[in-house]
């Protein structure tokens, strides 16, 4: 009897701990949770104070970022326009894929715009970014033109990778892709951060990955090296709840991804509020550069479409779930609500901004569609393997007969 009593006591303890864990507060995905703390000035470049919700952040062995920070009307307008621009670009890609003008893999970030835009508004061109294959928004925010991105998706010569990379392989200054192998960009991101440290540059590197890649062994190897070597890198998990068609709860024994670093501090962020993302990312950058140390971040976000264009996205979740996120937590509508409420823009100004973005994106897409395809020549095939001027005398193709001489 005593043995059974002791055994029952031992079993009950973990159950109670589990209940406490499940009852804990979770980060909000409310995109309208921010509030204004001071009067909004008439001058569009004059700063005023806003505050994000106290439920915007959760921390692990890390100080919570300040809830209050300063912005200007123009900064808010630019963040709004950037998100609208990214979404319209992605919607254009959706249309072109359905018209069978874009072929192969195509992963869109509709619903996740606040992450790419919020990060970019918190860093500088000297900082570095690397991500997985849901990369179009990041490529644009890092400086890639919409024409070059859409042209790349179409396989055209004017593409950002000259039509050779497609949806998953886009690069520009300060942006190392677009990577097609699940999780492979994380150790590469640690390597980029090592290079920045080696060259004594006061910059950080965002190495982004999805919840579906979070269980990859190479992710944990990168964590270990970054901690050992004191690398200024931010490992950012974009948790959109589903890795392909599998929910996070079914694929991961521990879904608090910001705690996955164990010996690395963590920060969980409302990824549907661009203002929370901006504030958290700025705080994370300052920490990693100042301390010369890594940080694990988790952006709680949501994709409206499927994993890729071949996935309808409704076989493993309900249409009601998707509709609820669209109508109550949309990052674009959330910021729109706040900037109108705060008087940062009028409704007429906002309509004008939206027309401007629409006309601009449509013109870029049209120009991309008119771009020529790469010539089917050996010269085009073998170029860009080496930095111009560093090529070897020759490069072998599939066979000796296909050897190309530079």
Give the span between the Cα atoms of 241 and 252, in whole angstroms. 11
**Residues in CB range of 389: below 8 A, 6 or more apart:** none
Cβ–Cβ contacts within 10 Å for residue 352, how many? 12
Give the span between the Cα atoms of 221 and 208, in whole angstroms. 15
**Residues in CB range of 184: below 8 A, 6 or more apart:** 218
Predicted confidence at residue 141, as pLDDT, reads: 98
Predicted confidence at residue 119, as pLDDT, reads: 98
Going edge to edge, which strands form the sheet with 233-239?
57-60, 266-270, 295-300, 233-239, 205-210, 128-130
Give the span between the Cα atoms of 131 and 135, in whole angstroms. 7
Give the span between the Cα atoms of 190 and 202, in whole angstroms. 15
Predicted confidence at residue 26, as pLDDT, reads: 82
Give the span between the Cα atoms of 143 and 160, in whole angstroms. 10
How would you write the pLDDT of the chain (406 residues) with one tens digit per residue?
A: 444 444 444 444 433 333 333 334 489 999 999 999 999 999 999 999 999 999 999 999 999 999 999 999 999 999 999 999 999 999 999 999 999 999 999 999 999 999 999 999 999 999 999 999 999 999 999 999 999 999 999 999 999 999 999 999 999 999 999 999 999 999 999 999 999 999 999 999 999 999 999 999 999 999 999 999 999 999 999 999 999 999 999 999 999 999 999 999 999 999 999 999 999 999 999 999 999 999 999 999 999 999 999 999 999 999 999 999 999 999 999 999 999 999 999 999 999 999 999 999 999 999 999 999 999 999 999 998 998 899 999 999 999 999 999 9
Q: What is the pLDDT of residues 190-203, one digit of tens each?
A: 999 999 999 999 99
Predicted confidence at residue 24, as pLDDT, reads: 40
pTM of the model: 0.92
H/E run at residue 266: strand 266-270
Q: What is the pLDDT of residues 19-52, one digit of tens each?
A: 333 334 489 999 999 999 999 999 999 999 999 9
Give the span between the Cα atoms of 237 and 282, in whole angstroms. 16
């Amino acid at each position: 009897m005593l043995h059974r009593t002791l055994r029952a006591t031992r079993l009950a303890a973990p159950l109670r701990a589990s209940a406490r864990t499940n009852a804990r507060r979770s980060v909000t995905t409310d995109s309208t949770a921010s509030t204004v703390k001071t009067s909004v000035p008439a001058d569009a470049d004059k700063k005023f104070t806003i505050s994000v919700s106290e439920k915007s952040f959760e921390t692990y062995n890390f100080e919570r970022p300040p809830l209050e920070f300063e912005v200007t009307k123009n900064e808010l307008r630019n963040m709004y326009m950037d998100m609208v621009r990214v979404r319209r670009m992605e919607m254009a890609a959706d249309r072109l894929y359905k018209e069978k003008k874009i072929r192969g893999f195509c992963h869109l970030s509709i619903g996740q715009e606040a992450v790419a835009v919020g990060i970019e508004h918190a860093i500088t061109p000297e900082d570095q970014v690397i991500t997985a294959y849901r990369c179009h928004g990041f490529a644009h925010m890092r400086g890639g033109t919409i024409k070059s991105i859409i042209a790349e998706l179409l396989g055209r010569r004017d593409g950002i990778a000259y039509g050779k990379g497609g949806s998953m392989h886009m690069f520009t200054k300060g942006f190392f892709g677009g990577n097609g192998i699940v999780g492979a960009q994380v150790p590469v991101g640690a390597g980029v951060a090592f290079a920045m440290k080696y060259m004594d540059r006061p910059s950080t590197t965002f190495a982004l990955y999805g919840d579906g890649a979070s269980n990859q062994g190479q992710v944990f190897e990168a964590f270990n090296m970054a901690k050992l070597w004191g690398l200024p890198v931010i490992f950012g998990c974009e948790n959109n709840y589903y890795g392909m068609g599998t929910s996070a709860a079914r694929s991961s024994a521990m879904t608090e991804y910001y705690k996955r670093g164990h010996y690395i501090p963590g920060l969980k962020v409302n990824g549907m509020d661009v203002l929370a993302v901006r504030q958290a990312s700025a705080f994370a950058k300052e920490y990693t550069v100042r301390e010369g140390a890594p940080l694990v971040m988790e952006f709680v976000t949501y994709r409206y479409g499927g994993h890729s264009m071949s996935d309808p996205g409704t076989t493993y979740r309900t249409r009601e779930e998707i509709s609820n996120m669209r109508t109550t937590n949309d990052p674009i509508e959330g910021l729109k609500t706040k900037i109108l409420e705060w008087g940062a823009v009028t409704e007429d100004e906002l309509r004008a901004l939206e027309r401007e973005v629409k006309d601009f994106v449509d013109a870029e897409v049209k120009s991309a569609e008119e771009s020529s395809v790469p010539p089917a020549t050996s010269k085009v095939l073998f170029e860009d393997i080496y930095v111009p001027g560093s090529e070897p005398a020759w490069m072998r193709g599939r066979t000796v007969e296909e050897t190309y001489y530079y």
